[in-house]
Amino acid sequence: MATDSTCDDLYRQALDAALNCDWDKALEINLRLSKLLPGNTECLNRLAKSYFELGKYTLAKKIYSQVLEIDPYNTIAQKNIKKISSFKKNANGLNHNGGGNGLLKASLSPSLFLEEPGVTKIVNLVKVAEPQKLLTLSPGSIVNLIAKKRGISVVDSYNQYLGALPDDSAHHLQKLISGGNKYQVIIKSVKNNGLSILIREVFRSKKFKNQASFLDESRVLAYSSDNISLMKEMPEDDTGEEASDSSL
């Protein structure tokens, strides 16, 4: 009989494997857990997630269906069955990689992750959702910004909360969005209790035609208050003698 400590240890291993995108290992561990904890919907959802990430959509759907037999109102299983059904409807012509994770990869373009000065910005979210929710996410997935009176939240395609922008980024983007700018947001990376997104300007309002959405970080650093203070404290060197001495 499995002990609680054994299951907890396996759960941590499965979580680490998933966060490292080692889905073969995650599948192996979640299969063990599903045998130790038969009927556990949380465990079955993680098992189905592993199958899904490995491109085994039929098996993933089968496990999610088992979850719904146990808990008909399980939202994770409901959403993912819809997602898998949607993939199958649109599969023609998309999977060119000979199976495996091809369909998921085919839907992503490497250009999505390219960073462009002034046009893109990577942001680490704050107040992120629980790890179980983060594990349902994948890099490259499109998410949405929801502007509120006090900040900007990030939600998935089902309008479920994922995290929030830091105050400085939120305040800056609120002005640009209210002025007519439009942005595409994708998941950059998923970590344990952490989520980063890439925000890309896709439309610039005439109001901001000469204003980049995001300042170059090196320029921000060069003109930060700390650096300006240091520059003021540095003695002027008219002769260059001290500089040549220090280089010896």
Q: What CATH number is given to the structural domain containing 174?
A: 3.30.70.2330
pLDDT at 243 over 60: no
**Whole-Å CA distances, 164 to 75, 103, 131:** 22, 30, 15
Q: What is the pLDDT of residues 156-208, one digit of tens each?
A: 877 889 999 999 899 989 989 988 888 888 888 888 788 999 998 888 888 88
Q: Are residues 65 and 144 in the same domain?
A: no
Tens-digit pLDDT profile for residues 18-50: 767 788 898 999 999 999 999 999 899 999 988
The pTM of this model reads 0.50
- Identify whether 75 is part of a domain: yes
Confirm whether 222 is domain-assigned.
Answer: no
Paired strand residues for 198: 122, 186
Please check whether residues 155 and 138 belong to one and the same domain: yes
Identify whether residues 99 and 29 lie together within a single domain: yes
| Mean pLDDT within 112-128 | 84
Q: Domain total for the chain?
A: 2
